[in-house]
Every structure is written in C-alpha cells, then in structure tokens.
Structure 1
Amino acid sequence: MCGIVAIFSADGGLGPGDLTAPMADLRPRGPDGEGTWVSPTGRAALGHTRLAVIAPASGHQPIAGPRQSVQLVVNGEFYDYRAIRRELRAEGCRFRTASDSEIALHLYLRDGHRALDRLRGEFAFVLWDERRGTLFAARDRFGVKPLYYTERAGRLFLASEIKALLSCGAEARWDTASFAAHLQLGLPADRTLVAGIRQLPPGCFLEADAHGTRVRPYWDLDYPPTAELPPAAGPRQLARHLEAVREQVDEAVRLRTVADVPVACHLSGGLDSSTVAASAARHTRLTAFTVAFDDPAFDESAVARRTAARLGIAHREVPCPRGRFADQLGPTVRAGEMVQENSHGIARHLHSAHIKQEGFTVVLAGEGGDEVFVGYPQSRKDLALSLSAGARARAATGYARLAGQGLPPYLCATLGTLGFLPGWIVDRHLAVTQPVTALLRGDFAAELAAADAATPLLDAGAGQLAGRAPVHQSAYLFAKSWLPGYLLAAERLDSAQAVEVRLPFFDHHLFDVVRRTPLAWYDKDGAGKYPLRAAMADRLPREVLDGQKRGFFAPPMVDDDAMLSTLRSLTEEPALRDNPFFDPHAVRTLLDRLAAAPAARRAGSERLLQLVASTCALADAFGLSASAPAHPTPSHHGLGGHRRV
C-alpha cells in the first residue's frame, strides 16, 4: 500500500513543482520513502510515496523500463509475483528492483493491456509510455485499492486520494446527484461525492493521450446464467466442491502472507476473519488484533480470544470506548473521504492506529466473505427467491401491492427490470432513503424523490444480469455500487495509519470457484455460507462455526447524551447551515426529541444522525461548497466527456 499521483498534459509544460502539493497529502500512505519523475517532454509527471512491504531495501518508485521509455508507480500488491518474475526472466527481461510492482511494467511491455489478465491482487497503478505518448492506469477487479481522477485546464490528474486532487486545484464542490445516488443505492462506481472528481471503476483500465481519455473494462463478475449452474448433486460432487473452496481459500490467504515485514490479522468472533486467521497461521507467524467495545452487545473480543487460543496465535485487544467517538469523527471522515452511517469507521481508524503502534504494517482481514458466499441476511432472502417458486409468488404479490401504493423511480426501474427487489435495496430504502427525507431541505428532497440511480446501473449491467438467478443479480448490483463506494472505503482509514490490509476473499481465482456453487448449497445447513463453514469445519471452534452472522457495528452514538449535545452544536456551524442537503431546523428537532427519549428508543435514528454528522465533517475537512452539480445524473455507462468503450 502506497500513494500514487500522476499528471498528463498533451501539450507538455509539467514540472516537479506540480507534484509537490499532492505528494504531501499522500505521505501518510507511504512514510518509508518517496520519488518523482517528470518526462523530458513535460507531458507526464509521476509521484510515489512508499510503504515498504516487499524488498524494503529495493523497489523504490517510479520504476523505469528499458531506456527510460516507460515509467511505473503502483499502490498495492501483486501476488504470486515470484513465479511471474521467473517467467519474465526466462524471456530475457532484466529487473531493476526486487519488488512485486515491477512485473506490471514488463507484462505491459510484452502484452499491453492484456497484462492485466495475469495480475492477481489488490492494486491501482499508473504507467507512462513515452514511446506512444500514452498514460495507462488500472484498478483491481473488486476495487479494493482506490484511483481517482479529474481534468482541469487541459490536464488529467490521477491520485490515490481525493484530497490530493483537491490540492492539484480541483474545485471542492458537492455533487448533489452523487449524494442522492448514495442515499438510494450507494455511489456509482465511477463517481465520488465531489463534483468533477471521478473514480476509475473496479476491473477497468484508463488510457489517455492527445486524442482524449478512454475507460474500458478488463474483468467482470460474470455469474453463470441460471441454466448453466450445476445442480446440487450428490455427496461426491459436494465433497469435490468443498475441497476446491478450501484449496482456493488457502491459496488466496497463503499468497497474501508473503511480505518482508511482520504480518497480523483482524479477528472478530465471526466465520470470515476466523477462516483467514486459521489459514494464515498455517503459513506464517501471526498476531491477531480484535476491537474491544465497552458495550457487551457489540463486543466480540471474548470469542476472538478463545479462537486465537485454539489456533495457537498471539492475540491483542484494542479498546475502543464510545467516549472517544466524538473526538475521532472528524479525523476519521477526513481520512476515509466518505460519509459514514455507523461508528465502525471510527473503530477501524483506531484499530489500524493501534496495529501500527504495535509494529505491524501488513494485516489480513475477512471482508468479502459475505459478498462471495451469500452471507448477508438480505442476500439469503434473495437466495430464497432463487430457490423457491412459492417464495417468488409470495414476493410478487407483495411487490404488486407496493407498486399500487406508488414507488419512487429507482425502485420502479429495479422491479421492472428484475421482477423483484433485492433485499439490500429494500433494506436501504426502509432504513435510510425513506426516513432521511424528513431531514432534507426542500430542493434536495425533490431532487432525491425524482432521482433514479438504478436505471444507469441496470443498463450498464444488462449483459451480466440477463438470465441470472435473483441472488446473483442482487450480488452483481451490490458489487457495482455499495461495495467499492462505501465498504471498501476502509482502505483509506487503514492507509492513513500506514497499514496495508489484504483481503483474501476478494481473490478472483477464489471467486471463480465460488460463483459456480449450486445455489442450494449456499444455505445447506440453514446457517448460511455452508460451503465456507463446511470447508473450515475441522479448523475452527464450534462456537464460530455455529455462530449467526454479525456485521461489524460499533455501539451507537445516539445512546450517549454527550454525543447528542455535540451533534446539536453542529447545527449552528456553517458546515450544516450552508450545506445543500440537510435542514438544520429539522435536525435540531430530531436531536431534541431524541434527548428527551430513553436511550433504548434512540437506536433507530443512528444511521441518519451519522449521515448528518459525517456530512458536516466532510464539508469542514475539505471546504465543500453547495453548488449545482457540474455533471448530469451519475452514469455507469458514460464518464462525462470521457469515452467508455
């Protein structure tokens, strides 16, 4: 994990000074060294802040190709790189460093953009090809590592963080259409909350030259059509599938334990992090870290402690008392560059800080297990629709009743295209989209009511949605919206503490095995995620294997009277008074009502108040102003003035 910045100017004129400000913003991501390079023609400038993980004494970037004609900067890791280095050496390639990053340069020189097919890992990189006058950039398949870009004054700017692009002169303006999309389905995969700043979508690459900027996909989730899914056959077929799952989990974890620095892991009381810890402990010396909350309803440290003892690994607990949440809200939002809806972001930020203080740089974590193995409660509802004609018939009756009462455009579009409403979309509508309306300013409430974040998403994914089972359609839409835009924003929280978190479940080789799972096997034991539970049955404690799904949630802030007082003080600040979304009077009214209510009756407003508070913190951190969006409604199949092919 490092920080990268790149600038392209077809007309030249770039110099080292153009990199100074964004490099300063990216220094927390890479405190172990930095380097810059500017093309002799002034058409390209690259900067890199390094977190030394592989070959600490080597691997400084930018990395130059033969005759300095190609220059590369990388954020993240390429796994199984040693085998690829051997292959390339046998073909005559000469390496300048001992790092994993350099394989991307030589693969590109050999294969062009098809080099991406060989890269395995969590990464974002930018490469300047002086011969062709082309800037080439790419992002990993699931979007674990970020890459943002913007255009200004005829120049293209790319960076690992939004704040670095703001330092390059991008305007700090809210994109109200993107915020509306976030409230409905999550950020579109190609947009941010800042007008004019885009994301390179997961599984895509970008090319820029004198003719413009083009964005193309190189990978997609590609769930099999229902007709091509294998049947849930007998015990022999099941045993073979479980063995394949086990082998791929082990390989994905093993590859991610390769590092020239000590390796740690996150450990909760759940199946996913316990699986990663159990597999990693087979390959490396490991220390597990667990967040310990002061509220027993949210604390899993006791289960994690017993799991660590069973696995024979060292264990550390990281106290995260709720009393620290108020002071940490601003720093967390600034680091994550995203609004939050639960204090788990604050806990993650504190957790990573503690891990770094203990001397660890690389951490393995369990994110992705629920996405890949259908583990969310909402996903299991979609699975029921996929397996039962009776469940589909009952759902159709309920949908008809809802449609008769009038649905917002984005739900109408989803229902009309899919014939059902994915569980996570229904949950978000009931928990956020609908109730937040009471807190909104009139203009933005009208914009939200008319917005349709679903249609561009459905249109762009039409080929991957057609003929698929409801559970796969739901998972695909989730991966294209909520996953990279919100859940994986934790990468920024970790990187602010100079910690690299690796996610074995987001391994495309593992995904390729799991996506072919017969649907009935996902819930075979009635507890969910059967293929993973069964594959790990002999490695994990029974209390973990039998445990119910628990998301990583922190204790609610609304239970704390001091926090309510802090939030009320925000209603007098410019960040709320001048923002285009929330009505300060409505927010004050809600806070007064909550303050008068018992703590046990406040929890239902937690997500709404987190949205308000973190929106204020984001505006304050980056000076975001209220103005009309610079772009049309977010689009998954168009990138403003850019061509996406």
Structure 2
Amino acid sequence: MCGIAGIVPRSNSGLLYAKQLKAMLSQLEHRGPDATYLHASPQVAFGMTRLSIVGGDDGVQPIWNESNTCAVVCNGEIYNYKSLRSMLELHGHEFRTSSDVEVIVHLYEEYGEQCLSQLEGIFALCLWDSERQRMLIARDRIGVKPLYYVNTDEAFLCASELRALLPAVNPKLCMSAFSSYHELRFAPAPYTLVDGIEKLPPAHYAVVQGRHLRIQAYWTPNLSGLRPSDNGRARQQDVKNLIEEAVSAQRADGVSSGVLLSGGLDSTLLVALQAKLFGTAPETITVSFEQPKHLGTTAATEYDEHSYAKQVADLFGCKHHVQEFGADETWDLLPQIVADLDEPIADPTALPLWFASRVAHRAGHRVLFSGEGMDELFAGYSLYRQTYWLRALHMLPSGVRKGLHSVLRNANLPGSHLLSHSLQSVASWYRSIGELFTDTEMDGILSTSVRRATKTAEQHWSNNTITRFLHLREHARANQDPLQQMLLFDCVHWLPENTLTKSDKISMAHSVELRVPFLNERLFEYALSLPARDKLRRGVHKYIVRKAFHDLIPDEVMNRPKAGFPVPITAWTFGEWHERIRLLLLSPESLTRDIYQEDAILKLLASPPAAQRRAARLLWSLVTMELWLRSLTAQTHIDHIGEFIGVEERADHCRYGSAAASAVATQG
C-alpha cells in the first residue's frame, strides 16, 4: 500500500515539476511512512510513498520493465500476481523484484490497456509509457482504492488523495458536488467538492497523451452471462467455495494483521474462515462507545456491542483488543477525523473505524481485514425488506401506477412523497428514501444565494450514478426484481462512493491497509446473479450465506440482530454535544454561517424526541461540512470562505464535472 502521484506537463518541463511532486508526496506520507521514491524526466514526474507489505526491500517504485520504457506506481495489492507472473515468464518476460506490482508493466507490454481486465485486487495505478509518451491511470473494479486528477492547460496531475492536488487549482466550490453532498452524504464520482479536482470512477481508466484526455470503463459486472444452478444446495456450495477462495487469496503473509470484529455475522465469518484456512486465529479489534451520560443505564446495550465481539474472540481463541471511547474524547478528535476523510462524507460510522484503525496501528498491525460488502451483496440491511411491498406495487398496471403517482406527488400527506416515487421506478424510490435533505429542507437550510446556485446543479449527480445503475441493469434484463435492482445500485453507488472511500481514507490515515476479502470480483458477480430468494427469504437476511456456513458459525451469532458498530450520534447530539454543535455552527468563527440559515439550525437543535434521530443525521452533515471547510482553509491560500463559495459567480455546475460525468455515462 502507498500513496501515488504523477504529473504530465504539456511541454517537456517535467524536471521543473519535481519540486511540486515532492510537495504532493509529502501530503501522502501517512499512506506510506516507510519511504518516498520518485522519478522525474522532461516528459513526466511521478512517484510514491510506501507502506511495505509485499515485496520487502525490492518493492521500490516506480517499477520499470526490462527495457526501461515503461514504469508504474501502484497503490494497492494484486492478489493474482503469482499466476500472472508465471504466465508472463513463459512469455519471456524477466522479473527484477518479488513485488506484486511488477506484473503490471509486463502485462501492459503484452496487452496494452486491456491488461487491466486481468488484474485481480485492489489498486489505483499510474503507468508511464515513454515510447508512446502517454500516461495510463486506473482504479480497481469495485472502487476500493481512490484516485483523483486535475487536467489544466499546463499539466495533468493525479494523486491518491484530494489534498495533494489542492495547490494545482484555485479552490472553488463545485456546486454539483455540494448539492449531491446534502442529498447523498457524499459527492459521487467524478465530482469532488473542489472545482477542477475530479475522481476517477471505479473500473475506469484514463489515458493522457499530449493535451488529450480519454476516460473509459474497462469492466462491467457480468450479470447476464452467469447462470447459477437451479439447485439451491449447489448454489450454497458455490457461495461457500467463492467466499473461502476470496478470504484465502488475501492472506497477509509476513506482516502483522488483525480483523475488525463487531460480533455480527460478517466479521465473525471472517474470523472463523481465517482460523480455518490459515490454521491460526487472527487478532481481533473492536471499539465501543461510552453510554451517553444523560441516558443512564437503561439503554446500555444499544451502544455496547463489544461483549458480542468478545464472545466470538473467545470462541476462536483470538487475541482480542477492545477500547472504549466517550463523547468528550470523540468530540475533541472530530476535526482530525474529518480532516483524515480528505473530502466530506457525512457517515458517522467513520468514528468507530477511525478508533479501530488507531488501535490497529498502535498494536503494530499493517493490515486490517473488514467484512465490508456482504450487506450489499447478500441483502444484509433491514431496508431491503421494503422491497416486498415495492414488488407488489409494481405488479399494478402501468396506467394505474401513473394515475396514482400524479395524485400523490403533490399531496401533502404523510408518506405521499415516498409512495409517489415508489410508483415511478425502483431508482426513483431508492433515491427518495436515501436522500439526506429533501428539496424542501434544502430550501430551508441553505442561504438564499447558495440555494440559488445549487438549483441548476442539483440533478447533475444522476447523470453518472443513476445512469451507471441503469446501464448495468441493461445487462441483466431478466433480473428486474426490485431487491436485485436495489442491491445493484448499492454495489455500484453507495459501496464505492461512501463505504470504501471512507474506509480507505480513515485506515490509511493511520498507515494501516484495510482489506475487504468479500469484495472479490468473482464473488461480486456471482452474488449479484443469484435469485432474490437466496438473499432475503421470509425476512431472513443473507439467507444463502447462513445456510452455507451453518456448521461454522454458532447459532447465537447466526440469529443475532444486525448491529455493526453502533454510534450514539442521536444521544450525543441532544446530550453532551448539543451546546458544542450550536457554538460550532453559529459562532462568529463558523465558516458555514454564510451557507446555512441560523433559524433552521436552531430548529433542528430544538427537535422533539420523535424527530431527533433524523435531526441528528442532518446536523451531523452540517458539522462535517464545517470541519471539512476548516481543514480545507488550513491547507490552502483561501483567505475568506466567500472566495471558495463564490455563490454569485458559481451558479453553474463544476468545471470538469459535466464532461467527466458524460464520459462515465457513455462508457457505463
């Protein structure tokens, strides 16, 4: 694992960019504390900060081919590198190192851009082809590792994190991303909150040659070509084999590692399989949060899941690390946690992950395994049960649905907004239930000038996320079940844009590589191709996984309600944090005072108990934005936040976003 950065100047001035590249890499030292390496020539400057996991002392990057005409820097791990290496050696390629990354340059020699389709792993890479004078950048299929870029008249620049590219732009707020953030909790690729800095979408690559930039998809999940067996037990065995293969392929040999353990099904399965397949129980890590003081002891178990994790650790003989954190310590660390996110993601699950990553780092672990992805692949969230009645609605004749929609869309009745969207499409319904702020709430919370600027941008996110979802659905026309559509949307949208981006930034802030074995490409495709009844049957989530591993996981874990790592955000927001939030958002020092309306914030803070859960989510997004802006201004030359917002001049969508979004939509 590492941080990577690259610069391709528009003229042969790469040597002049060496100093800028060093500055970019210095912003990525947390991703690679072991060493920093770079290469600079008149045509290109690129390099990396290294966290050594595979390859030992000979894994220095950039790694060149035999003739020194092609070189690569890569953040991630190539899990099938041994088989690829054997194949390439048979083709006459000579290897200089034991690094997994070296296979990339030789694959590129053989297959060009098509080499990406043969890589299995998690990666963001930057490859320089000196003969063709071009740079290739790419992200892994699922989107585990991030990659950002800037394309200016002077140069093309790319880096593992947004912060490294800030000096390359005159920071301005991208209104498309800003609007999406308040709807989705994050800015979807290709957008970022900073105009001119873009995110390369998952399973995409970009080729930079001269002044030309071409962005293209290299992989789409094969949903129509897979035909799982009609026999339920055969499908269970397939799932069992694929999950075991995925875990086995990601063994962290030679470095200290641990498993993020909540005590639920996914993390317990990960622990059980590592113990079974590797012959030794892994170390485990869990965190818990102190019970909010004003709640007393009556609700103690709501935020105390570490007892479940300890039961699992004891069952498999794991060395178990557990640490508890309270409201005061968490609040004091919020500025650092949000800064570590690099871009604002209003998801409070970043808190337990941050603390767990810190525990892992202090325990000497370089790799931390997580059960991410199982909920999206096998219908683990309670929300998926709503597809039962959604399926019934879509059995109505289309004329009836259209008539009901026209009546309900303007009705001011409880639930009419959601029901009207439900009658349109699964995508429309899912967007309505997933939105953070509704349009009406956006009108109320944003200042007049900011809201005016977002009006023209608020639909732009659908050009890439919804379109990507619909494009994938076209490859699976026989699979139109609402649950299947919902899972597909989560896998191509929520998972990479929220969960995986957050997980990478938070773990790497502590120089810890987070691995997600259940997001293996073959398992990913197979799970999405399974019938809906294998994932959610009679209210039982992850049905086929439970059946496949019933002999490995104890019944008390199998039957335990889903919990994860619960965070007492609502209790803290209306308890220990209440006055702190008011001061943060409404004090003269607040950077969002010109963005959010004071009376709307005070109304949220005064929410009655029945409305506090939702109000806490909304306030959390405002707190995240405030702290991110403070981090941003500390890193840039912005003297006044009005310069960044620029609402009078920024009433359009962001500079590169629409073009990149169109490329994503076109390429799928």
After TM superposition, is the score higher than 0.5?
Answer: yes
1:361 Cα shift? 0.7
1:538 Cα shift? 1.1
Give the corresponding residue for 1:587.
601
Q: Secondary structure at the match of 1:405?
A: coil
Residue 522 and residue 387 in structure 1: after superposition, are their counterparts in 2 closer, same or farther (change >3 A)? farther
Give the corresponding residue for 1:322.
327
Residue 259 and residue 432 in structure 1: after superposition, are their counterparts in 2 closer, same or farther (change >3 A)? farther
- 2:34 matches 1:32: yes
- 2:522 matches 1:503: no
| Alignment check: 8 A CA contact 2:71 2:128 kept | yes
Deviation track 1:28-76 (CA, whole Å, cap 9, x = no partner) reads 110011100013xx12111100001112222011111122211110101
Residue 455 and residue 35 in structure 1: after superposition, are their counterparts in 2 closer, same or farther (change >3 A)? closer
Residue 281 and residue 388 in structure 1: after superposition, are their counterparts in 2 closer, same or farther (change >3 A)? farther
1:572 Cα shift? 4.3
- 2:645 matches 1:626: yes
| Alignment check: 8 A CA contact 1:382 1:422 kept | no
The whole-number CA distance in structure 2 between the counterparts of 1:119 and 1:522 is 28
Residue 527 and residue 241 in structure 1: after superposition, are their counterparts in 2 closer, same or farther (change >3 A)? same
The number of aligned residues is 628
Residue 601 and residue 514 in structure 1: after superposition, are their counterparts in 2 closer, same or farther (change >3 A)? closer
- 2:9 matches 1:13: no
- 2:369 matches 1:364: yes
Please report the RMSD computed on the Cα atoms of aligned residues, expressed in angstroms.
3.1
1:94 Cα shift? 1.3
The whole-number CA distance in structure 2 between the counterparts of 1:364 and 1:534 is 23
Amino acid at match of 1:289: I
The whole-number CA distance in structure 1 between the counterparts of 2:402 and 2:320 is 49
- Choose from 303, 325, 337 the match for 1:298: 303
Residue 280 and residue 391 in structure 1: after superposition, are their counterparts in 2 closer, same or farther (change >3 A)? farther
Correspondences of 1:92-241 after superposition (within 5 Å): 92-167=92-167, 169-185=168-184, 186-224=186-224, 233=230, 237-241=231-235
Give the corresponding residue for 2:567.
554
The answer to which of 635-644 and 69-78 deviates more is 635-644
1:211 Cα shift? 4.4
The whole-number CA distance in structure 2 between the counterparts of 1:630 and 1:66 is 52
Q: Secondary structure at the match of 1:195?
A: coil
Amino acid at match of 1:2: C
Deviation track 1:323-362 (CA, whole Å, cap 9, x = no partner) reads 2121111111111123343432122112101111001011
Q: Secondary structure at the match of 1:510?
A: helix
Give the corresponding residue for 1:441.
447
The whole-number CA distance in structure 1 between the counterparts of 2:589 and 2:498 is 22
Correspondences of 1:36-47 after superposition (within 5 Å): 36-39=38-41, 42-47=42-47
Residue 572 and residue 430 in structure 1: after superposition, are their counterparts in 2 closer, same or farther (change >3 A)? closer
The answer to which of 336-345 and 127-136 deviates more is 336-345
| Alignment check: 8 A CA contact 2:346 2:620 kept | yes
Amino acid at match of 1:405: A
1:549 Cα shift? 2.8
Amino acid at match of 1:587: I
- Choose from 450, 457, 478 the match for 2:490: 478
Q: Secondary structure at the match of 2:99?
A: coil
The answer to which of 44-53 and 92-101 deviates more is 92-101
Give the corresponding residue for 1:77.
77
- 2:535 matches 1:519: no
1:10 Cα shift? 3.1
| Alignment check: 8 A CA contact 1:523 1:530 kept | yes
| Alignment check: 8 A CA contact 2:123 2:139 kept | yes
Q: Secondary structure at the match of 2:660?
A: coil
Give the corresponding residue for 1:246.
240
Residue 462 and residue 417 in structure 1: after superposition, are their counterparts in 2 closer, same or farther (change >3 A)? farther
| Alignment check: 8 A CA contact 1:75 1:124 kept | yes
| Alignment check: 8 A CA contact 1:305 1:315 kept | yes
Amino acid at match of 2:550: A
Residue 525 and residue 271 in structure 1: after superposition, are their counterparts in 2 closer, same or farther (change >3 A)? farther
- Choose from 412, 419, 426 the match for 2:425: 419
1:153 Cα shift? 3.9
1:246 Cα shift? 0.6
Identity percentage over the alignment?
Answer: 26
Give the corresponding residue for 1:565.
579
The answer to which of 629-638 and 285-294 deviates more is 629-638
Give the corresponding residue for 2:660.
639
- Choose from 400, 408, 413 the match for 1:402: 408
| Alignment check: 8 A CA contact 2:507 2:513 kept | yes
- TM (norm. structure 2) is 0.86
Q: Secondary structure at the match of 2:14?
A: coil
1:132 Cα shift? 0.4
Amino acid at match of 2:70: V
- TM (norm. structure 1) is 0.89
Q: Tell me, which stretches of 5 or more residues in structure 2 are unaligned? A: 292-300, 634-640
